[in-house]
């Protein structure tokens, strides 16, 4: 880590899984609005954790508490082993936070913005220069390094914001809707970057509404609704899959024979077609492929109708507010 925070008094965490983020019973109200209501959450180091929930469910509020900007009314928080409330500087030195909405200083160039933040994190100038060049290349902004940050496009600003959150090589990354405004190419880059950061042993907590995308990058998911963490019922149990074969007749015939409850999809019995089928998890899907091939059914594809995250999300009873 290139941060040199005077923190030698803190003993290194004991052997075992690195702490990452631990939230226990955190509540936070804004007047009458209970934005967080005794929420529990864990995000482990080396993994990408998705934070999913409807509008106004308290995702941003939770990230603000984790970033050390808001005091929770009750509950305890540990970020990289530090309490952002009692030991703010130590926690903040290890936390990279990217807000969902942020501004840039009009007259500074992208490079100056990053250098300023490096200085604010007490990174020595020489180290900072190297680091900033590295980051500008990472987020593909080196072309714009010396142009005013205010003329960057929305997506470019978003990427600059990501670089800003990474400037001090934080152990814990808190990203609030980082992909909004990004083009498809940048989304892929973001995914690869976050995976790389997680593989380096960092804790990554990402909030987003684009579930298909979270699905591809997240290892874990935390659902939050009305300020509470909720466990969706159907996750990793049964989900709907789209099964396609060269001959729809052969497929439906076989399925009926084995007693599977299928629903018609598309296609005519003579030609190629598909059905919808309830399958229990990935193991169930593998089993289905094995059995179908053994039975001589000309399978062409097998895919979940919607992402597991999306399905889980839709099973949440709670509504958006």
Ligand X SMILES: Nc1ncnc2c1ncn2[C@@H]1O[C@H](COP(=O)(O)OP(=O)(O)OP(=O)(O)O)[C@@H](O)[C@H]1O
Q: Determine which residue in the list 3, 60, 112, 180 makes contact with Mg ion, applying CB under 5 A.
A: 60
Angle at alpha carbon of residue 147, lines to 146 and 149, rounded to 5° = 115
Closest residue to Mg ion, based on beta-carbon distance: 60
Name the strands in the sheet holding 33-43, side by side, starting at the edge strand that comes first in the sequence. 33-43, 21-30, 74-79
Give, as ranges, the residues between 65 and 104 that touch Mg ion (CB under 5 A).
Answer: 100
Give, as ranges, the residues between 221 and 240 that touch other proteins (CB under 8 A).
Answer: 221-223, 231-232, 235-236
Q: Determine which residue in the list 51, 110, 121, 178 makes contact with other proteins, applying CB under 8 A.
A: 121
Picked from ligand X, other proteins, Mg ion, none, the partner binding residue 33 (CB below 5 to 8 A depending on kind) is ligand X
Q: How far is the CB of 151 from ligand X (least distance, A)?
A: 27
Strands 203-207 and 48-52 turn out to be parallel
Dist CA 170 CA 1 (whole Å): 8
Could you say whether residue 180 binds Mg ion (CB under 5 A)?
no
Picked from ligand X, Mg ion, other proteins, none, the partner binding residue 5 (CB below 5 to 8 A depending on kind) is other proteins
Could you say whether residue 16 binds other proteins (CB under 8 A)?
yes
Q: How many CB atoms lie within 10 A of CB 27?
A: 18
Q: What is the 3-class SS of 274-314, one letter each residue?
A: EEEEEEEHHHHHHHHHHHHHHCCCCEEEEEECCCHHHHHHH
Picked from ligand X, other proteins, Mg ion, none, the partner binding residue 55 (CB below 5 to 8 A depending on kind) is ligand X
Q: Determine which residue in the list 2, 34, 46, 75 makes contact with other proteins, applying CB under 8 A.
A: 75
Picked from other proteins, ligand X, Mg ion, none, the partner binding residue 46 (CB below 5 to 8 A depending on kind) is none
Dist CA 123 CA 166 (whole Å): 13
Beta carbon nearer to other proteins, 48 or 245:
48
x/- contact string, 29-68, with other proteins (CB under 8 A)? Answer: -x-----------x-x---------------x---xx-xx
Classify 81 in phi/psi space as left (phi over 0), alpha (psi -120 to 50) or beta: left
Helix/strand/coil for 25: strand
Picked from other proteins, Mg ion, ligand X, none, the partner binding residue 273 (CB below 5 to 8 A depending on kind) is none
Dist CA 13 CA 25 (whole Å): 23
Picked from ligand X, other proteins, Mg ion, none, the partner binding residue 95 (CB below 5 to 8 A depending on kind) is other proteins
Q: Enter the tokens of residue 316.
A: 């949440």
């Amino acid at each position: 880590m290139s941060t040199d925070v005077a923190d030698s008094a803190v003993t290194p965490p004991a052997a075992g899984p690195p702490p990452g983020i631990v939230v226990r019973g955190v509540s936070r109200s804004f007047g009458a609005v209970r934005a967080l209501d005794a929420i529990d959450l864990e995000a482990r180091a080396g993994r990408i954790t998705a934070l999913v929930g409807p509008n106004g469910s308290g995702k941003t509020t939770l990230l603000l508490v984790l970033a050390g900007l808001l005091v929770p009314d009750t509950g305890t928080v540990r970020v990289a082993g530090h309490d952002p409330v009692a030991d703010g500087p130590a926690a903040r030195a290890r936390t990279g936070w990217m807000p969902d909405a942020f501004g840039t200083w009009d007259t500074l160039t992208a490079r100056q913005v990053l250098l300023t933040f490096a200085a604010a994190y007490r990174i020595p100038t020489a180290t900072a220069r190297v680091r900033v060049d590295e980051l500008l290349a990472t987020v593909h902004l080196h072309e714009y390094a010396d142009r005013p940050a205010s003329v960057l496009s929305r997506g470019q600003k978003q990427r600059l914001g990501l670089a800003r959150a990474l400037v001090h090589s934080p152990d814990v990354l808190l990203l609030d809707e980082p992909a909004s405004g990004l083009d498809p190419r940048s989304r892929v880059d973001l995914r690869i970057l976050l995976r790389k950061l997680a593989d380096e042993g960092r804790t990554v907590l990402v909030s987003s509404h684009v579930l298909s995308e979270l699905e591809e990058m997240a290892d874990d998911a935390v659902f939050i609704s009305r300020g509470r963490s909720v466990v969706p019922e159907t996750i990793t149990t049964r989900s709907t899959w789209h099964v396609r074969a060269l001959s729809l007749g052969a497929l439906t015939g076989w399925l009926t024979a084995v007693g599977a409850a299928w629903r018609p999809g598309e296609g005519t019995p003579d030609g190629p077609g598909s059905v919808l089928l309830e399958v229990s998890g990935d193991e169930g899907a593998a089993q289905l492929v094995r059995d179908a091939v053994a039975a001589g059914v000309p399978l062409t594809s097998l895919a979940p109708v919607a992402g597991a995250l999306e399905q889980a999300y839709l099973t949440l009873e709670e509504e958006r507010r």
